[in-house]
Amino acid sequence: MNHSTIRKFTLKVFLLPIIAFGIVQSTLAQEAARDTLTVKMDEIRVEATHSSITVGQAPLSVSYLNRSESDITARPAATMNELTFTLPGIWVSNRENHALGERMSVRGMGWRSPFGVRGIMVVLDDIPLTVADGQTIMNIVDPAMLQSLELLRGPSATFWGNASGGVLYMKTRPAPDSPSLSIRSYGGSYNTMKHEVRWHDIINNVRWNAYGSYHETDGFREHSAAQLMRAGISAGFDLSQNSTLEARFAYSGMPKAQHPGSLNENDATENPAMAWPAFVNSSAGKDFQQMMTSVNYLNNFESGVLNVTAHGTYRDLNNPLLPSVGFILVDRFAGGGRVTYDFLRLPVNLQIGTETKWQRDNREQRDNINGSPGNQLFIDQTDFVNNQALFAKTGVDAGRFAFNLGLRADRMVFTVDDFIADEKSNRSFLSLNPSIGMNYRFNNTRLFANLSTSFEAPTTTEFKNRPGGGTGFNPDLMPERTIGFETGLRGILPSLQLEYDIAFFNLNVQDLIIPFEEEDGGPTLFRNEGDTRHYGLEVHLRLQPTPLFSIDFMYTGINASFADGNFEGNQVPGVAPHRIGSMWTFYLGNHTVSSDAEWVGEYYANSTNTATNDSYLLFNGRYSFRGLSFENWRVQPFISVENIFNQRYNTSVSINAFGGRFYEPGSDRSIRAGLRLDLF
């Protein structure tokens, strides 16, 4: 980033909030906003760790986001990056391609994913979206419906097992003082429209929460139109004074998601809205139906707490791709169960538990005839994955000092029945993952340190797509294994209403799995390519000096490089070495104005480090008005502008793509406007 860009960024990101803050100071006599941020770090429980520790006590790097009502009103939140850009460690790149989904990485883990999410555990309302083999499909998540997020930023296999290079834990349950019924609709650029409804109530002692949405857009690029429907409902009630039962159901359907493909550097610069012609001619895209359900039983005994959870997933996928790949059809059944017991009467905290996950994919690959499956059958197989685990965690909380120790053992078995070759093959792995952490309190500051591990087995897709072709699982592909160390400070300055989080981390990744292509438009293949080293710094600040103004600031710096192998000394592609995100919000009576700034530094698009994606700086703004209030209902108009300064940039890259088609362009300036209706 040159000096001119630095000066411009400093002016826009830092001076503008300071000037605006001076203006806001003159309005101190106005009514304080009802949904402002307050610093209560020690009261927030870290549910992503399956324990009762708070953010302040956690002996590891953890971030959280509790969304305000004004943010829920005015932020479109069509994609996850709108919610996570001020959280350190995590980077969600919005490809603006619903057929592929967003690219998500935590401290560089998950960078290789050609679609969906890899290497990171994702949980929605206690339902794991990450299935047994480590694949995560995010389409079922409607970011606009999320009320809160938690992020474990380091290796977390002790808590979740396979594919836990980080953990993103999300909840849709609204705050108790939220409107009982809320309806929001908006429309805007690229023929985008979205309708949402959410409801919660207590009826006959049953706690109900439900939501639903319909989203349709033509997309910024050609051949990128999509239609998406989502819904969820939960019901919880007390079985007795000491026990509760809660059931959840979530649905997502995407009857249309066109795939525009990635572009070379010249096309991405000169004609960013174009689609790669071969993808248009092949009607490349995706449609699917997905349903997920879970049941949770909790019982408080005198000696401890029993928690039993069961969950299941069904997914029906149709995926037309280029002729060299064909038409992919997958029916997926997956699920699992978890049982834990937390002892309450021991001199130390102790939790023991067991978990099982399973997955069955019925997979076919046929020729693609104008976007429909043909009669020529290339692949006809059923993939099975089974995962069993035992784990234990213990901890001591002695005043200022807290110490935690965990251990988990996982056994995984992958099996494939190939009906064309009439043969069966399998791969199996055993992984033992410990963790150890400490936390020491100095008044309003806590020092923490943590050593933890994780492993990431290849997914069934990565096992199947083997160099040189052939059936069955790739016999040479091995799991990634990671050892991570982190230390930092976390605390508050009550006089300034300032919350801060500073962390240093180091990750050693062994047997790195990398993607590559052997031919243009061909399948993405995978191989192990030595080790990588990731180290860096994360800073997060939340400040609210008055009830009328708040600011979030995040900086993530990371150096991720190949330690050996063919690319020794090169930077890991798809990992930006520097990122900054900030959001400031002004509460002026019934008016709320907020703005975002996100800067992403230059990074490489391929493992040979011969192609780069330029740095970019984006600004977004929102305004909402809550003055149209009546006895038991309220109407709030709002407007949102994305990419205010019309920055030309590539929002993501297709790593190691054939023919230099690395780049996935981001959209120009866009506007959304709508109304929210609340009933109390």
Measured CA to CA, the distance from residue 20 to residue 433 in angstroms comes to 49
The pair of three-digit structure tokens given for residue 593, joined into one six-digit string: 């104005």
pLDDT confidence band for 423 (50 / 70 / 90): confident
pLDDT at 160 over 50: yes
Q: What percent of the chain has pLDDT over 70?
A: 91
105-137 per-position pLDDT tens digit: 999 998 877 777 888 999 999 889 999 999 898
Strand segments (E) across 399-531: 401-418, 423-442, 445-456, 480-493, 498-510, 513-517, 524-528
267-316 per-position pLDDT tens digit: 999 999 999 999 999 999 999 999 999 999 999 999 999 999 999 999 99
Measured CA to CA, the distance from residue 452 to residue 454 in angstroms comes to 7
Cα-based torsion angle of the residue sequence 413, 388, 155, 455 in order, rounded to the nearest 10 degrees:
-20
Give the CA angle between residues 642, 587, 5 to the nearest 5°.
40
Measured CA to CA, the distance from residue 528 to residue 562 in angstroms comes to 12
Amino acid sitting at position 460:
T
Half-sphere exposure of 320 (CA within 13 A, CB side): 22
The pLDDT, as a whole number, for residue 39 is 42
623-645 per-position pLDDT tens digit: 999 989 888 999 999 999 999 99
Do 285 and 325 meet the contact criterion of CB atoms below 8 Å apart? no
Helix (H) or strand (E) run with residue 211 in it: strand 206-217
pLDDT confidence band for 8 (50 / 70 / 90): very low
Q: What is the residue extent of each domain of the chain?
A: 3-679
79-101 per-position pLDDT tens digit: 999 999 999 999 998 889 999 98
Which of 628, 621, 622, 623 lies closest to 677, judged by CA? 628
Measured CA to CA, the distance from residue 102 to residue 168 in angstroms comes to 14
3-state class of 58 per DSSP? coil
What are the residues facing 210 on neighbouring strands? 199, 233
323-334 per-position pLDDT tens digit: 888 999 999 999
User: Per-residue b/e over 44-60, b at no fewer than 16 CB within 10 Å?
Assistant: bebbbbbbebebbbbbb
Q: Which of 4-18, 115-129, 646-660 has the lowest mean pLDDT?
A: 4-18
Average pLDDT over residues 473-493: 90
Q: What is the pTM of this model?
A: 0.89
The pLDDT, as a whole number, for residue 546 is 87
164-213 per-position pLDDT tens digit: 999 999 999 888 888 999 999 999 999 999 999 999 999 999 999 999 99
What are the residues facing 327 on neighbouring strands? 320, 366
Q: What percent of the chain has pLDDT over 90?
A: 70
Average pLDDT over residues 405-418: 94
Torsion sign, CA atoms 168, 172, 173, 179 = positive
245-261 per-position pLDDT tens digit: 999 999 999 999 999 99
Measured CA to CA, the distance from residue 212 to residue 199 in angstroms comes to 9
Which of 266, 366, 256, 381 lies closest to 321, judged by CA? 366
Task: Tally Cβ neighbours within 10 Å of residue 652.
Answer: 24
The pLDDT, as a whole number, for residue 11 is 40
Residue labelled with tokens 């929102």: 622
| One-letter-per-residue 3-state SS of 285-345 | ECEEEEEEEEEEEEEECCCEEEEEEEEEEEEEEEEECCCCCCEEEEEEEEEEEEEEEEECC
Average pLDDT over residues 562-590: 94
Backbone angles phi, psi at 495, to 5 degrees: -65, -30
Task: Tally Cβ neighbours within 10 Å of residue 64.
Answer: 18
pLDDT confidence band for 318 (50 / 70 / 90): very high
| One-letter-per-residue 3-state SS of 433-466 | EEEEEEEEEECCEEEEEEEEEEEECCCHHHHHCC
Task: Tally Cβ neighbours within 10 Å of residue 69.
Answer: 22
Measured CA to CA, the distance from residue 76 to residue 193 in angstroms comes to 10
- What DSSP designation does 486 have? E
pLDDT at 12 over 80: no
Concatenated DSSP letters of 157-185: HHHH-TT-SSEEEEE-PPPTTS-SEEEEE
The pair of three-digit structure tokens given for residue 256, joined into one six-digit string: 């249309």
More confident residue, 238 or 111: 238
pLDDT at 40 over 50: no
Do 261 and 661 meet the contact criterion of CB atoms below 8 Å apart? yes
3-state class of 601 per DSSP? coil
550-559 per-position pLDDT tens digit: 999 999 999 9
Average pLDDT over residues 348-354: 93
Do 542 and 39 meet the contact criterion of CB atoms below 8 Å apart? yes
Which of 175, 217, 216 lies closest to 198, judged by CA? 175
The pLDDT, as a whole number, for residue 512 is 84
Kindly report the length of the chain.
Answer: 680
Average pLDDT over residues 43-67: 78
Beta-carbon contacts of residue 506 (< 8 Å; ≥ 6 apart): 484, 485, 486, 533, 534, 535
pLDDT at 215 over 90: yes
What are the residues facing 182 on neighbouring strands? 198, 678
3-state class of 675 per DSSP? strand
Q: Could you tell me how many helices (H) and strands (E) the chain has, helices first?
A: 8, 36
Burial of 302 (0-12, 13-18, 19+ CB in 10 A): exposed
pLDDT confidence band for 44 (50 / 70 / 90): low
Average pLDDT over residues 34-42: 42
pLDDT at 225 over 80: yes
User: Per-residue b/e over 487-512, b at no fewer than 16 CB within 10 Å?
Assistant: bbebbbeeeebbbbbbbbbbbbbbbb
The pLDDT, as a whole number, for residue 471 is 61
Q: Please give the mean pLDDT across all residues of the chain.
A: 89
Measured CA to CA, the distance from residue 167 to residue 365 in angstroms comes to 32
Measured CA to CA, the distance from residue 252 to residue 117 in angstroms comes to 17
pLDDT confidence band for 4 (50 / 70 / 90): very low
Mention the CATH class of domain 3-679.
Answer: mainly beta
Helix (H) or strand (E) run with residue 148 in it: strand 148-152
The pLDDT, as a whole number, for residue 468 is 65
Measured CA to CA, the distance from residue 617 to residue 601 in angstroms comes to 9
392-407 per-position pLDDT tens digit: 999 888 878 989 999 9
